[in-house]
Amino acid sequence: MNLLCICFCRICKKYPFCCYLLLLIIVGSMKGGEALKNSSEQHSAETKLNSTQVQENVQLPNNVNDTHSESISSVTTKAENTSQTHTQRRLLETADKSDDQTGSSETHESDSGAKAAATVENSEPLDEDADASFDLFRDPEDLPDEYNYDYDDYVDDRLWGDEDWKEQEHEKEEDYVSIDAHILSTPVIADIDKDGVQEMVIAVSYFFDHEYYRDSDHAKELEGIDMGKYVASSIVVFNLDTRQVKWAADLDLSTDAVNFRAHVFSSPTVVDLDGDGYLDILIGTAYGLFYVIDHRGKVRNKFPLEMAEIHAPVIAADINDDGKIEMVTTDSHGNVAAWTAEGEEIWEVHLKSLIPQRPTVGDVNGDGHTDVVVPTVSGNIYVLSGKDGSKIQPFPYRTHGRIMSPVLLLDMSKHGDNAKGLTLATTSFDGYLYLIEGSSGCADVVDIGETSYTMVLADNVDGGDDLDLIVTTMNGNVFCFSTQSPHHPLKEWRSSNQGRNNAAYQYNREGIYVKHGSRTFRDEEGKNFWIEFEIVDKYRVPYGKQAPYNVTVTLLVPGNYQGDRRIVVSGVYHQPGKQRMMLPTVPVRTTGTVVVEMIDKNGLYFSDEFSLTFHMHYYKLLKWLLLLPMLGMFGVLVILRPQEGAPLPSFSRNID
């Protein structure tokens, strides 16, 4: 209505009376339409009440290890109810509405009598701040964000039109229902089975989109199917060479009428847990189960493990400094749990607040032991000991707003400064950027006046010798803050997840980077050139190093029309330190990117990259070839110029 009035104000100066009459007519029609709409919605609500049944207990698929190679465009789920299951889990249902709002839950033992995980049994009540944090999922209109620009200056009706897309037609089968596939998280690309071909690991959620089928034309495709009864999830592995589905593993089944639905909101994590050289897939689901799947699509023994809704990716890192990989999971009830590679619980902590994003790992207070940093929706930042999960003092640090992104860890020490510990950088919904000193808990704050859902990033943006911080906001602004910390390639944090599975701080820990002399932007000629890099591994004795280190150097030259556009050289190293590799140059004038990748014995991935050019100086030679003759002629004219005062020859004609 306000937008309509703004539009009329622009023309009412010339035709005020006509505009007034037209406005009255439109307002009257709008009120009539609202009355019809309210009547229709009331009738629809009554119909839905009479037809919907609430399902209290949902069973897992008969065999969680079943795999298939069907396309991810749809999944078929048997419509007949079955009573026999290999794995059964009772959801944490609450009949009391107030209990559902606080997010508290009760744990029921399965039919097999197995003891449930401690992370689900925690019955401690939530404090007032933690309870208020769950309002995030109740009323999204409560967000206090206000935009300063004038809507009328940016309005584009095309942005508000219906999306031009259509679900695939559903297969007509007697005993099966074809469910639409949706990808709600970022896939991961890796060679999980050592066949030399990259695979794309995708977490797929299957459900009927209520907004899409609200259209009567689309609703006809369902032929009376109850959309709320079919929700499922799976892991699909896609071969990037053949462009076909390699295999798929079914995960969960549920309905829309339960607290825990079979959606997958987190990205998969791939890591080698057992040291066999093949990558395992770690995934947590909103159904409250944590899976570990091998490279063939089989669920490993003792998995899945039970928790509440898992929204954040599972992190894999050596958190207790024993030289082995541990796994850390978080859920919507504030539980943080650490697991061994075999699925044994190391420790668990209840933080009484929803945890929206994954933790980060590093030595926060500089005591030489690895810590786990956990952000919460209640605004608290917790630092937990990687050894036993105890809270590290003086944390938690409390902000005055929600924290919806992972916490960045970085070394903010200056040149010659011997300060220990790391700095925690994050944004909060109170409009501030926080830089918290890990050793003391003191913080510097920057008032940006805007909220943010994204992680603070660190990189050398302006080409100087210092480290810069990048902050993006809900208002569409990008801030760049310079720091006094000297730049180092291992201090960079260019994306929310470093590489494909690394959530740990790399500087003075583990990583690989290209030396300054090799990464300097330059032009290469000749037949070959050298790349010098350094492998960093500062794990302590007696647990040794994370060798062997599999290093791959890839030269990407899209403009090489006379040869390969991807040149790969690899090697295996058993000791950290400085190393060199030789790469061939390309015979054409073009630009290129060198990507240096390293995978340690646990399958953790590290990388660095830089750009360079080839044969760009050819045009400099051509320039001198054209310029030298002109310079020579100019010199001759200067040397042989006529002397001053010399009479010029003249000719006269006798006309007599």
DSSP-derived secondary structure for 7-22 = HHHTTTTT-HHHHHHH
Rounded distance, CA 335 to CA 345, Å?
13
The Cα-based distances of 459 to 84, 353, 466, 535 in angstroms read 54, 31, 9, 20
Buried-exposed string 420-453: b where 16+ CB fall within 10 A, e elsewhere: ebbbbbbbbbbbbbbbbbbeebeeeeeebebbbe
Tokens of 409: 């860890």
Q: How many CB atoms lie within 10 A of CB 193?
A: 16
CA–CA gap between residue 61 and residue 254 (Å, rounded): 10
Model confidence, pTM = 0.70
Query: What pLDDT score does 151 carry?
Result: 42
Concatenating the DSSP letter of every residue in 458-498 gives EE--SSSSEEEEEEE-TTS-EEEEEEEEEP-GGG-B-SSSB
C-beta neighbour count of 631 within 10 angstroms:
10
Alpha carbon separation from 411 to 258, 424, 454 (Å, rounded): 45, 9, 20
What distance in Å separates the CA atoms of residue 122 and residue 129, rounded to the nearest whole number? 18
Q: Two tokens at 468?
A: 């810069």
Which residues lie closer than 8 Å to 395 by C-beta, 6 or more apart? Answer: 381, 382, 383, 441
Q: 345 φ, ψ to 5°?
A: -75, 130
* Cis ω for the linkage preceding 375 (within 30 of 0): no
Q: For residue 164, what pLDDT is reported?
A: 56
Pairwise CA distance, residues 361 & 319, whole Å: 7
For residue 141, what are the contacts with CB-CB under 8 A and spacing of at least 6? none
Go through the domains of the chain in sequence order and give each one's CATH number.
58-76+173-310 (no CATH), 510-614 (2.60.40.2550)
Q: What is the DSSP string of 284-337?
A: E-TTSEEEEE-TTSPBPTT-SEE-S---SPPEEE--SSSSS-EEEEE-TTSEEE
Which amino acid is residue 139, in one-letter code?
D
| CB 533 within 8 Å of CB 515 | yes
Contact present, 505 and 606 (Cβ < 8 Å)? no
Predicted confidence at residue 79, as pLDDT, reads: 40
Q: Measure the CA angle with vertex 312, ends 379 and 496; round to 5°.
A: 85
In sequence order, the β-bridge partners of residue 388 are none
Q: At what angle do helices 16-51 and 2-9 cross, to 10 degrees?
A: 160
Q: What is the pLDDT of residue 233?
A: 95
What is the Cα gyration radius of the chain?
Answer: 32
pLDDT of 213 reads: 84
Residue with token string 């669920």: 299
**Using an 8 Å Cβ cutoff, are 205 and 264 in contact?**
yes
How far apart CA 596 and CA 579 sit, in angstroms, is: 12
- Percent of the chain as helix, strand, coil, to the nearest 5: 20, 30, 50
Tokens at 6, concatenated: 């703004």
At position 89, the amino acid (one-letter code) is R
pLDDT score recorded for residue 618? 67
Per the structure block, which two tokens stand in for 529? Answer: 């050139």
The pair phi, psi for residue 180, each rounded to 5°, is -70, 140
Torsion (CA) 206, 209, 215, 221 in degrees, nearest 10: 10
| Rounded alpha-carbon distances, angstroms, from residue 528 to 209, 475, 587, 608 | 55, 48, 11, 20
* Per-block mean pLDDT, blocks of 10 residues, the chain (656 long): 44 45 47 43 40 39 43 43 36 38 38 38 55 52 46 49 57 73 93 91 93 82 84 95 93 90 94 90 95 95 93 93 91 94 94 91 92 95 95 93 94 80 94 93 92 93 89 94 91 85 88 92 88 88 77 90 87 93 90 92 90 80 78 82 61 61
Q: Which two tokens stand for residue 412?
A: 């903010």
Rounded distance between C-alpha atoms, residue 313 and residue 284, angstroms = 7
Q: How far apart are CA 205 and CA 193, in angstroms?
A: 24
Of 506, 577, 508, 505, give the one whose Cα is nearest residue 547. Answer: 577
